[in-house]
Structure 1
Amino acid sequence: MDAVDALFPRAGEIAAAMIARCAAEIPAYRLLPASVLEGDLVANARAVFELFLTTVAEDRRPTERELALPIAWGAERARDGLPLDAVLKIYPLAASVAWDLADGDRALLGARMLDFLGEVMPRVASAYLKERDELDWERREDRQNLAASLLSGRPVRRRDLAESYDVVVFHLPSLPASAGSRAATDLFRAVRSDLDSQPGVLVTFKGDGGVLLVPAGLAAEAVASRVDRVCGRA
C-alpha cells in the first residue's frame, strides 16, 4: 500500500509533530520535563504509530502482545501524575496530526485509525486506573504503617512528620442488613477517601473504626467532624 509505505520513513518526524501538538494543546503535558517530551514520549509515539502502520499494511488487528507495551506506557503516565483525561486525549489528537501529514488514501487511513484507537484507548484507560489504584494503595499503606508505628512507640525517622499529633479515636456506624453487602465497604472507602484529602493526617483502621493522628496546629475536632459527616452522624 503506497500511502502506508510512504509513511514508514516519516514515522519519527510525525511522532515528533504529534508530541509537539499534544504539549501545545494539553496543559498537563507541559508540566513534564522537555527531556521526557522529546525523548521518551516521542519514542513511544513513534513505536505506536509504526505498529498502526504495520497493522494497516498487513490488513489485521494488533495482537495483545503488540499492544502490551503501548498500554503499559499509557498506564505509566499515572506515575507522572497526569490525569486520565489528558492521557486519553493524546490519542485522537496524535491521530489528527498523522491524518494532516499523510498523503494518499486518507479515507482508508482514517477508518483504520478509528479502529486502532478503539483497540488501544479502552485498554490504556483500564491499565491506567489499575496503576493509579495501586499507587493510592501504596501511599495509604505507607500512611497506615506510619500511624501504627507512632502509636506503638516504635522509632520512626521521617522528615515529613509533624512535631506532635493529636490522637482521635473514631468508630464507623453499624449498618442495617437492608443496606446491602457493599454498604460497609462503600462507607469505609468514603471515609478513607475523605481522610486522604486531609494534609498530614495519618490514619490506621482496625475493626469497626480507627485512630487518627492529626498534626498539632490543625483542628482535630474539625477532622473528626468530617468523619462524622461522611458517616451520616452530623
Structure 2
Amino acid sequence: MNRLAESSNSSMHEEQQQTEQMKPEAAFLLFKTLISNEMNIPDITMYAQNLVDIQLNYLETPIPKNQLANQAVQSQKNRIKYYLSEYHRIRLQKINKNILIDQSKLSHFELAYLQEYKQLFSDMFEKKVFKQVEQATKSSFVEYARKQYAQDQENKLIQSDKICVVRIDEDCDISGIRCYAGETRMFKWSQIRESKAYLTNQIVILK
C-alpha cells in the first residue's frame, strides 16, 4: 500500500512539474500577440507559426517511466498543443498603450483561455509586459522572430529591387554618389545593399 501511495504521489509530482514547464510556453503565445505592434507587422501569423513549431519541439521532454504519469503528461501535452493550434483564433483587443484587454470583444474560447491562465498573466499585464514575459519564457524566441522578419523583408527587397527612400544620418557614398547627413535620397535596393553606408548604419531606409 505504501508503495502504491508513493507511486501515486510521484505521478502527481511529475505531472505538476510538466504542467509548470508548459505554462510559460503558452504564455509566450500571448506575448507574441502583444509585441506584434512593437514589431510593426500587420500580419504576424507566419512568424508566430515558426515559433509554435519551435515550442512544440521544446515540449518534447522525456516521458516518465510510470504509466499513470506518462498518460497524465501526454494528456497535458496534447492540451497545450491544442491551445497552440488555436493560436490564430486569438485576437486580443488592445484598448490603450498599456495593453489592457477588452474582454467583451473576445470569443468564448478566448475568454476560457484567459481565465485558465489568468493567475499566470495577471502581473504581466499590470506591470511592464515585455520584461515580465521575457523572464518567464525564452527571449531567444523574440530575437528569432525579429531576425526572421528582417530577413524576409530583405528578401522581398532583393526580389523586387524596388526604389527606397533613404535618410542619410552621416556623410557617405552610395553607388558612387556622395550623400550628406540630413538629406533624404532615393536609391534602388541593389545600390543600397552593396554600399558600405548600409552595412555601417549610416543610413536608414524609410520606405
Q: TM-score range by the shorter chain?
A: under 0.3
Greater helix content: 1
TM-score norm. by structure 2 comes to 0.25
TM-score norm. by structure 1 comes to 0.23
